[in-house]
Chain A
């Protein structure tokens, strides 16, 4: 029982990390209808920018950690702004009114471009990232179960960060002027434009926000695994989360992440050994697919899926 709870908690916390990546997808999809495959590459680019800037500031310029950390974050944010600007200017603006699937393929192109560029500029090594998050394991409920229930502090911090981000985004969407404009664009491009909302500007902002979410995801994943190329593969982990949670729902991304995270870890640990192991990669997809056949709009998605 203790072990089951442990796997469940471990899965849920891993799921929170998937949600962090999925959030970026949802933001862009909500505002521009673009399924941004490049989100994983943006996580990589953000994390690389952060870790390399931190390294230069601390090692070469001898800045104290307290100063270098915010400065590095600012630098990485600037890089994300640059990517957002370029994506809007060079890709989105040219593909206005194209079908979603064309835009999707274009973002696959963007993915490869960002991956190549980020690694050319910042290097392709593995870089340990320390932004001061604690990483110690904690054992809960040791009185109840033998060995206790293992939880990692970093995972808890990731959950806290994800929670803060969601709250922040909710406020941003509901309370601010830009947020209202974003929601207007998501509802109806043409109507939003006719009341004087500049689409290009909105797209830039939304890509920027997605870039900042990518930065948060990159910082957390980077401190967990070290900043390295495999961070881009996170995009593939986030896809089933999106299908499950719905493409347009921020809470959906969180809940979907939790379900996928817990489901795949439980499947891997309890079903995996009898099936030869390694099933978690496709298990998430299969769960998502089955769900898709039953409820195409996802858990919280809006019911406007095209069907044939």
Chain B
């Protein structure tokens, strides 16, 4: 009898909860933006600041402007734990929410991006994969719905090699050298390999890929291999705990940290702080923006943080990944704004948002107006080029903070463009996609 009572009570509680949930979800005339986040698990240290940045920017728009052009934004997070299957579940759960469905998805996981690339065209929802995702998806003729804005991993690989060449005094110095890639053994970590192999042939350096099994908290064997092989430079393509473990282990085997260059997902505070003193000298690419506070942070402080509406601590809001979250939301909402200019000030469908992203054109003046001056450079997305810009810099951790140590590099299209074309064409053939003709797009 006791159990029966408990069941009844449980069912009642369940029903009450559902009712509350249902009442809170009722809203018309809102633009729904889903957030795939990971605030738990082995990748949470990096997932949390990014998710906070994404949410805070949207909350700021709602608080300050009442949304985008008067259309309020409905935002809901879904926890993926960086797991592809849970990401797909979140996508299915959120894609039809709100009056017009999800505006766009930013899964912050290359694995989830791979999975969603198959689904997005059918559902007509664009994917904004800012600085990650499929490198070949920059080809908008084949990948209509993917937008790897600000840079792909092939761009990153090209910039990384350029920076190494610059440090050594020219591309001819690469010949005969050995460059290792310590990578997260997932679609994410494997993505740059194709570009690095091509460059290794072109410039004559030896390329040594060393996989680290996920989540990558134990890397002793990998770094012992590095000690044995003695590469001249180590590229790091890690995420979550793997980054800090790599930097720590590099210190343990005394591999010079200033001969290590991380991708832009391996160059934030959570990656180096746990390593303590050992992190000093470590370098990483930047997805254009540095750490620190800019114009936008004042707005965020005023409308979100000081009102206690943010999950982020006030001290953490200038962190690299937090800033990246802000940029991610800014690019998304500006795309919606671009779409509204054409389709009117109402909630946009995924198809309309896609048009908006494809016609996104941020001038220096607009970037300044938005408060992102100093964080990103102007970009213009076109039908053929879904990346928008291929700029990146390098920053170095001095043990206390990140310092920008280089000027902008541009991804080398003489290497990248043929590769993108090649791989995208292969994908199109496999999936029986007829590439769009960009000259006919409006």
**Touch between A and B in complex, CB under 8 Å?**
yes
Query: What residue in chain B is nearest A222 (Cβ atoms)?
Result: B274
User: Which residue of B41, B42, B244, B251 contacts A135 across the interface (Cβ within 8 Å)?
Assistant: B251
Residue interface bits B202-239, CB-to-A below 8 A is 1, else 0: 00000000111101011011001101100000000000
> Is A33's CB within 8 Å of the partner chain B?
no
Which of B40, B212, B254, B275 has the most chain A CB atoms inside 10 A of its CB? B254
User: Which residue of B40, B212, B274, B276 contacts A126 across the interface (Cβ within 8 Å)?
Assistant: B274
The answer on a CB contact under 8 Å between A137 and B251 is yes
> Is A130's CB within 8 Å of the partner chain B?
yes
The answer on a CB contact under 8 Å between B45 and A126 is yes
User: Which residue of B42, B220, B252, B254 contacts A265 across the interface (Cβ within 8 Å)?
Assistant: B220
The answer on a CB contact under 8 Å between B41 and A229 is yes
The distance from the CB of A85 to the nearest CB of chain B, in whole angstroms, is: 25
The answer on a CB contact under 8 Å between A269 and B252 is no
A22 to B232 CA separation, bound complex (whole angstroms):
39
> Is A58's CB within 8 Å of the partner chain B?
no
The answer on a CB contact under 8 Å between A229 and B44 is yes
The answer on a CB contact under 8 Å between A226 and B252 is no
Provide the residues of chain B in CB contact with A280, threshold 8 Å. Answer: 213, 218, 221
> Is B48's CB within 8 Å of the partner chain A?
yes
A130 to B277 CA separation, bound complex (whole angstroms):
11
> Is A7's CB within 8 Å of the partner chain B?
yes
Provide the residues of chain A in CB contact with B244, threshold 8 Å. Answer: 126, 225-226
The answer on a CB contact under 8 Å between B220 and A6 is no
A10 to B185 CA separation, bound complex (whole angstroms):
23
The answer on a CB contact under 8 Å between A10 and B41 is no
Interface size class of A (residues with CB under 8 A): 35 or more
**SS of B interface (majority):** helix
Within 8 A of B (CB), among A189-210: none
Provide the residues of chain A in CB contact with B185, threshold 8 Å. Answer: 277-278
Query: What residue in chain A is nearest B252 (Cβ atoms)?
Result: A152
User: Which residue of A3, A7, A125, A272 contacts B45 across the interface (Cβ within 8 Å)?
Assistant: A125
Within 8 A of A (CB), among B110-154: none
A7 to B273 CA separation, bound complex (whole angstroms):
27
> Is B39's CB within 8 Å of the partner chain A?
yes
The answer on a CB contact under 8 Å between A150 and B227 is yes
The answer on a CB contact under 8 Å between B45 and A10 is no
The distance from the CB of B41 to the nearest CB of chain A, in whole angstroms, is: 6
The answer on a CB contact under 8 Å between A233 and B217 is yes
Provide the residues of chain B in CB contact with A140, threshold 8 Å. Answer: none
A299 to B309 CA separation, bound complex (whole angstroms):
57
The answer on a CB contact under 8 Å between B221 and A272 is yes
Query: What residue in chain B is nearest A264 (Cβ atoms)?
Result: B221
Beyond A125-B44, A137-B251, A230-B217, whether A225 also contacts B245 by CB under 8 A is yes
The distance from the CB of A140 to the nearest CB of chain B, in whole angstroms, is: 13
The distance from the CB of A285 to the nearest CB of chain B, in whole angstroms, is: 14
Query: What residue in chain B is nearest A232 (Cβ atoms)?
Result: B42
Query: What residue in chain B is nearest A155 (Cβ atoms)?
Result: B252
> Is B248's CB within 8 Å of the partner chain A?
yes
Beyond A230-B241, A272-B221, whether A225 also contacts B40 by CB under 8 A is no
Query: What residue in chain B is nearest A272 (Cβ atoms)?
Result: B221
The answer on a CB contact under 8 Å between A273 and B225 is yes
The distance from the CB of B423 to the nearest CB of chain A, in whole angstroms, is: 22
The answer on a CB contact under 8 Å between B278 and A119 is no
The answer on a CB contact under 8 Å between B251 and A230 is no
Which of A135, A228, A280 has the most chain B CB atoms inside 10 A of its CB? A228
The distance from the CB of B216 to the nearest CB of chain A, in whole angstroms, is: 8
Query: What residue in chain B is nearest A154 (Cβ atoms)?
Result: B252
The distance from the CB of B219 to the nearest CB of chain A, in whole angstroms, is: 10
The answer on a CB contact under 8 Å between A3 and B215 is no
Provide the residues of chain A in CB contact with B276, threshold 8 Å. Answer: 128, 130, 135
> Is B253's CB within 8 Å of the partner chain A?
yes
The answer on a CB contact under 8 Å between A278 and B213 is yes
The distance from the CB of A44 to the nearest CB of chain B, in whole angstroms, is: 12
Query: What residue in chain A is nearest B272 (Cβ atoms)?
Result: A128
Query: What residue in chain B is nearest A7 (Cβ atoms)?
Result: B224
Beyond A125-B48, A281-B213, whether A228 also contacts B241 by CB under 8 A is yes
Task: List the 3 shortest-distance A-B pairs measured between CB atoms, nearest first.
Answer: A226-B274, A268-B221, A126-B45
Residue numbers of B with Cβ under 8 A of A are 39-42, 44-45, 48, 185, 210-213, 215, 217-218, 220-221, 224-225, 227-228, 241, 244-245, 248, 251-254, 270, 273-276, 278
